[in-house]
């Protein structure tokens, strides 16, 4: 019988492998050989991978591919994709080649706003709370000035802080609903650091607010966290051509265009179809997000919420026939980053971004949306012709220290230091420089 383990994270990698192989595999020696086979042959690179997450025992490889011939806003791209599912890269490449001679893909950024919230309970007079909030707003911004300073220098930072009343749904429930501009960073760590400081400032200032009763002064912060629902961080990608240029699968252009548009309409109206329809879109989107070191789980959550924003889950893509012109487009929320995280640490991520000509976050949004649109075009084209069958900051600390070139001794000292201090890029850099100066 398998038994619980104590102190697993403190064991060496060899000890972890030995334990898991003996406890949970039929042939421990064979299992250990498999795990060791997928280690990187360069010890430094393997150590870097080991420190991306916790309890690492090996690397899990996915194929890394490119889909060429994407003409996006009159520039030619080869798009890196990391995915295990067959035919995805081939389908994307086929769609790219199809639209290459028909004007290519056009894109437009519709917004880049990101969201975070402080959720709290206040059981008192609403009028008092709103008066308190108006006095609090400048204090909230001031309290995070050290966190936002560098972001503001680059043109980003906090856009707005609103007080939202949801007390009709939950007694005493209110929010600080905050919007952010994080530029080329995805911004999760930045946003969460701001929100946690907002929460502290909210509670502290409430306790000393003269107009509150003793009960009102004890408002309770439940949690502070960014939202992966970003309906105002949206990109549009589009293709368009004369109907006569759409002949496919033995159909005339007009027949194909009508049948294709009908398939999109079905995906708009029928949730059972819409889910699979959008899953196909995400085949393209996730593959590029994974290849460029972004968080595909956050994107998935936000995208599917957006697909249901009108009260029923629906297609993310749209098609129209206007006279002799066929247009196919997507509007999709994508909170992405090209700096921070693994973008400068993972060798293949760095290479993927280089292949994409080192795009800004906005440009990456456009590229990713195009990959999703291309994937959907290829899938729906197959469906209507031949059929588908044919065709977090403590854990982030070591990444930051590796990026800054810290030695092993420095890393050990700073890991201990940041058990008791807030981790931000600025605070880590300052602490490292202080050690190095000594």
Check if the beta carbon of residue 291 is closer than 8 Å to that of residue 82.
yes
**Candidate list 15, 85, 125, 149, residue with the active-site label:** 85
Q: Residue 272 is encoded by which pair of tokens?
A: 């059972």
Check if the beta carbon of residue 289 is closer than 8 Å to that of residue 371.
no
Q: Considering only CA atoms, which of 337, 236, 339, 344 is closest in space to residue 296?
A: 337
Check if the beta carbon of residue 187 is closer than 8 Å to that of residue 336.
no
295 catalytic residue (yes or no): yes
**Candidate list 295, 318, 363, 366, residue with the active-site label:** 295
216 catalytic residue (yes or no): no
**Candidate list 22, 123, 279, 394, residue with the active-site label:** 279
Please enumerate in sequence order all residues whose Cβ is within 8 A of that of 74, keeping only pairs 6 or more positions apart, or say none. Answer: 104
How far is Cα 10 from Cα 55, in angstroms, rounded to an integer?
A: 9
| Residue 325 falls in which region: left (phi positive, over 0), alpha (psi -120 to 50) or beta | beta
Q: Residue 183 is encoded by which pair of tokens?
A: 């530029």
**Candidate list 392, 408, 416, 419, residue with the active-site label:** 392
Check if the beta carbon of residue 233 is closer than 8 Å to that of residue 333.
yes
* C-alpha torsion 245→251→255→256, nearest 10: -60
Check if the beta carbon of residue 301 is closer than 8 Å to that of residue 314.
no
H helices, E strands: number in the chain: 16, 10
392 catalytic residue (yes or no): yes
CA atoms within 13 A on the CB side of 360: 6
What are φ and ψ of residue 419, in 5° steps? -70, -20
152 catalytic residue (yes or no): no
What residues are annotated to the active site? 85, 279, 295, 392
């Amino acid at each position: 019988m398998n038994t619980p383990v104590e102190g697993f994270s403190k064991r060496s990698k060899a000890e972890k492998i030995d334990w898991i192989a003996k406890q949970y595999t039929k042939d421990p020696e064979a299992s250990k050989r498999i795990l060791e086979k997928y280690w990187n042959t360069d010890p430094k690179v393997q150590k870097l991978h080991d420190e991306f997450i916790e309890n690492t025992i090996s690397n899990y490889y996915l194929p890394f591919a490119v889909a060429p011939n994407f003409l996006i806003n009159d520039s030619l791209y080869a798009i890196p994709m990391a995915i295990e599912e067959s035919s995805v890269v081939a389908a994307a490449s086929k769609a790219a080649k199809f639209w290459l001679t028909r004007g290519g893909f056009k894109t437009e950024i519709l917004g880049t706003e990101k969201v975070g919230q402080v959720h709290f309970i206040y059981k008192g007079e609403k009028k008092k709370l709103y008066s308190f909030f108006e006095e609090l707003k400048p204090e909230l911004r001031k309290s995070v000035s050290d966190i936002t300073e560098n972001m503001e220098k680059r043109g980003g930072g906090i856009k707005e802080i609103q007080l939202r009343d949801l007390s009709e749904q939950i007694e005493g429930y209110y929010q600080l609903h905050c919007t952010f501009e994080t530029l080329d960073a995805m911004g999760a760590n930045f946003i969460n650091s701001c929100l946690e400081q907002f929460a502290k400032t909210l509670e502290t200032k409430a306790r000393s607010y003269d107009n509150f009763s003793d009960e009102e002064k004890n408002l309770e912060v439940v949690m502070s966290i960014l939202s992966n629902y970003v309906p105002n961080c949206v990109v549009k990608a589009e293709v368009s051509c004369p109907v006569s240029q759409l002949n496919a699968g033995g159909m005339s252009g007009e027949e194909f265009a009508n049948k294709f548009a009908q398939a999109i309409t079905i995906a708009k109206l029928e949730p059972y179809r819409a889910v699979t329809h959008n899953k196909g879109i995400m085949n393209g989107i996730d593959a590029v997000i994974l290849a460029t070191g972004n968080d595909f789980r956050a994107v998935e959550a936000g995208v599917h919420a957006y697909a249901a924003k009108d009260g029923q889950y629906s297609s993310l893509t749209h098609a129209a026939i206007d006279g002799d012109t066929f247009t196919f487009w997507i509007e999709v929320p994508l909170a992405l980053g090209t700096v921070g995280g693994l973008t400068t640490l993972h060798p293949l991520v760095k290479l993927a971004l280089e292949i994409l000509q080192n795009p800004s976050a906005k440009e990456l949004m456009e590229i990713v949306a195009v990959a999703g649109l291309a994937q959907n075009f290829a899938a729906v084209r197959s469906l209507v012709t031949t059929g588908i069958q044919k065709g977090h900051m403590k854990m982030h600390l070591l990444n930051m220290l590796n990026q800054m070139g810290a030695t092993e001794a420095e890393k050990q000292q700073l890991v201990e230091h940041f058990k008791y201090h807030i981790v931000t890029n600025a605070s880590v850099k300052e602490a490292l420089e202080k050690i190095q100066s000594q």
